Amino acid sequence: MKFSLCIGAYPGKDVIYHLEKVKEHGFQGLEYYAWWDLGDLKKLAAEQERIGVGLSAVCTKFISLVDESLRDAYLEGARQTIEACRILGVRSVISQTGNEIEGLSRDKQRQTMVETLKQCAPLFEEAGIVLEVEPLNGLVDHAGHFLQRSDESVEVIDQVGSPNVKLVFDVYHQQITEGNVIRNATGYADRINHYHIADNPGRMQPGTGELNYVHILRAIKNTGFTGFVGLECGYTIDTDEAIAGFKTDILSQVI
């Protein structure tokens, strides 16, 4: 497994500062969501080369997957994101799904999503990039988000049928939505490209809540997973101290 930090881990600090911290902590990547805010991408690519680590994931443009009228806009956003990834060497792109549309059946919205993802798939296959659909919890953080459960998300991925369209499994979100974290995080491992971790409640660093991350990460590792696990969390103490504690108290028992 490889580990990434997420932008915002060091509030008020820029992408270069975050990349240097990734390197300092011995992690392998940084997730930066709104790539369109980065400015000169070629300049950032040169900085990544200098530092020795780079962005591991970005997001697509935030356009609904369940609104058929926005399909062309979503596809254009995907093309733009792929070009940004080409410059930056990024191989994972995260997509949210958009909120459920009132008055339209879930089946219709799900099929709209599947069809849009099917049209996206060849673009990502040609680029060698994985598009990752992310279910989010609707109870605490994302009321109305269309995809929330991992089982329904897997059904969508299976209907798309592309090796370059998979899932981000966010342990924090799925603990809130459905529990059963280890069973789902490992049972769907072949459809998962990337994991996010944070504790619950509070979405702070692992070790501050109810989730046993030694057991969770060990179970994920035992599936043979070699991709990224991103610390998408806040920090209750100084970030450097929290990361050091995560490595000492949790990772030392997993790796």
Catalytic residues: 134, 232
Residues in the chain: 255
Task: State the alpha helices, DSSP H only, in the chain.
Answer: 15-24, 41-51, 71-88, 106-127, 150-160, 171-177, 181-187, 213-222, 239-249
Nearest CA to 154 among 181, 175, 127, 185? 185
- The alpha carbon of 215 is separated from its chain's Cα centroid by a whole number of angstroms, namely 21
Angle in degrees, CA 161, 124, 49, rounded to 5: 140
Angle in degrees, CA 38, 231, 234, rounded to 5: 85
With beta carbons less than 8 A apart as the criterion, state whether 183 and 143 touch. no
The 3-state DSSP class for residue 52 equals coil
